[in-house]
């Protein structure tokens, strides 16, 4: 399949015909996808498997933010490259809860008019169409009052501060505010680079085949018993108990990512170093989504 070179109104119509941006859980299709039929992204793209399906992430930054999201307690669903409705539409929670079936909110065209901002467009020769804005990640969490949403945009440090980018982000923020959904703008300034690198390095085990609760308990007990010794020794001890080094890696990092074994993730990648244990508050403070940090003000 030949890669589409650029976006045109015809490409956007094809996305709509394919049902992109619709569905929930494993039925969801991202609006922009990591495929040979989509125009290439500016960043390095990634496909991350989680919760039974692939998630299309268009840069290293989006990948790291998605890994932070997966660590958040209560995460129910994650929709990457989520398209914003151009016209007034049903609330995005209607797909999860009948309580929102009758709830409607304005689309980006109306919001842009209200804000006095020119809506983004796309052209191909003589044809012009409104561009479909997207939010990088739309998260659904469980709560006592039912499912709730959190919208997240990821931007490189200097990619969002020019006047036009701020206008487009203003429309995006207004879209979610009209739906009473919290929106975060996350840049590399909202988290420690070393923490992001640790998540990327350990994702293969943390998001690999799920180990049993018994294996997690073994991992936590071994890490506490050997808390001043190297990570390598913890893993070797676990491997003797569980019979397999790969299983030991998954047990250790799944216990860490779920918060059962909170550690300082800003520690480098070398496994001759010890795991530095911290309390749960300090562990969650490393995560910009749990902490609700945002570059937007």
- The Cα 291–Cα 284 span in angstroms is 7
The one-character DSSP state at 220 is H
The one-character DSSP state at 132 is -
CATH of the domain at 229: 1.10.10
Query: Is 23 in the same domain as 63?
Result: yes
pLDDT per residue as tens, the chain (297 positions): 445 578 999 999 999 999 999 999 999 999 999 988 888 777 789 999 998 889 999 999 999 999 999 999 999 999 999 999 999 999 999 999 999 988 899 999 999 999 999 999 999 888 999 999 999 999 999 998 899 999 999 998 777 889 999 999 999 999 999 999 999 999 999 999 999 999 999 999 999 999 999 999 999 999 999 999 999 999 999 999 999 999 999 999 999 999 999 999 997 767 888 999 999 999 999 999 999 999 997
CB-CB neighbours of 260 under 10 Å: 15
Q: State both tokens at 17.
A: 């015909």
pLDDT for position 75: 97
Query: Is 223 in the same domain as 185?
Result: no
The continuous run of DSSP H or E covering 124 comes out as strand 121-124
pLDDT for position 3: 54
- Picking from 152, 142, 10, 14, the residue whose alpha carbon sits closest to that of residue 81 is 152
Number of domains in the chain: 2
Query: Is 204 in the same domain as 186?
Result: no
Query: Is 204 in the same domain as 150?
Result: no
User: Does 291 map to a domain?
Assistant: no
Query: Is 20 in the same domain as 155?
Result: yes
CATH of the domain at 60: 3.40.1350.10
Choose the final residue of a domain: 169, 190, 211. 190
Q: State both tokens at 80.
A: 């990457």
Instruction: Give the structural domain span for 184.
Output: 9-190
User: Does 290 map to a domain?
Assistant: no
- Picking from 77, 89, 23, 87, the residue whose alpha carbon sits closest to that of residue 50 is 77
User: Does 296 map to a domain?
Assistant: no
Provide CB contacts within 8 A for 73, sequence distance 6+: 259, 290
Query: Is 122 in the same domain as 155?
Result: yes
Provide CB contacts within 8 A for 283, sequence distance 6+: 259, 262, 263, 264, 265
Query: Is 44 in the same domain as 176?
Result: yes
The one-character DSSP state at 77 is E
- The Cα 258–Cα 245 span in angstroms is 20
- Picking from 154, 139, 152, the residue whose alpha carbon sits closest to that of residue 79 is 139
pLDDT for position 237: 96
- Picking from 247, 291, 5, 24, the residue whose alpha carbon sits closest to that of residue 139 is 24
Q: State both tokens at 283.
A: 């562990």
Query: Is 50 in the same domain as 163?
Result: yes
User: Does 34 map to a domain?
Assistant: yes
Cβ proximity of 107 and 165 under 8 Å: no
Q: State both tokens at 148.
A: 């709730």
In the block, tokens 């490409």 appear at 11
CB-CB neighbours of 213 under 10 Å: 9
pLDDT for position 269: 67
pLDDT for position 170: 98
Query: Is 88 in the same domain as 125?
Result: yes
Choose the final residue of a domain: 190, 207, 225. 190
Positive or negative CA dihedral for 255, 258, 262, 267?
A: positive
User: Does 1 map to a domain?
Assistant: no
Choose the final residue of a domain: 158, 175, 190. 190
């Amino acid at each position: 399949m030949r890669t589409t070179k650029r976006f045109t109104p015809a490409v956007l119509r094809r996305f709509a015909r394919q049902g992109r941006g619709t569905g929930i859980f494993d039925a969801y299709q991202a609006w922009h996808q990591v495929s040979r039929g989509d125009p290439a992204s500016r960043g390095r793209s990634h496909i991350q498997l989680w919760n039974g399906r692939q998630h299309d992430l268009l840069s290293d930054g989006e990948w790291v933010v998605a890994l932070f999201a997966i660590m958040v307690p209560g995460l129910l669903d994650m929709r990457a490259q989520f398209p914003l409705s151009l016209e007034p539409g049903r609330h995005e929670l209607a797909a999860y809860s009948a309580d929102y079936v009758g709830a409607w909110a304005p689309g980006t065209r109306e919001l842009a008019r209200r804000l006095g901002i020119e809506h983004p467009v796309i052209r191909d020769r003589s044809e012009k169409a409104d561009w479909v804005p997207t939010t990088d990640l739309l998260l659904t969490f469980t709560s006592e009052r039912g499912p709730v949403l959190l919208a997240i945009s990821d931007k490189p440090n200097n990619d969002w501060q020019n006047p036009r980018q701020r206008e487009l982000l203003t429309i995006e923020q207004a879209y979610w505010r009209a739906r009473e959904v919290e929106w975060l703008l996350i840049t590399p300034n909202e988290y420690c680079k070393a923490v992001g690198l640790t998540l990327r390095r350990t994702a293969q085990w943390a998001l690999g085949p799920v180990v049993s609760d018994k294996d997690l308990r073994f991992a936590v007990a071994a890490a506490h018993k050997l808390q001043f010794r190297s990570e390598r020794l913890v893993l070797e001890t676990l491997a003797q108990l569980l019979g397999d080094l790969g299983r030991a890696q998954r047990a250790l990092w799944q216990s860490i990512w779920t918060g059962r074994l909170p550690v300082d993730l800003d520690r480098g990648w070398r496994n001759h170093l010890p795991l530095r244990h911290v309390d749960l508050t300090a562990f969650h403070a490393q995560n910009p989504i749990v902490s609700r940090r945002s570059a937007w003000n």
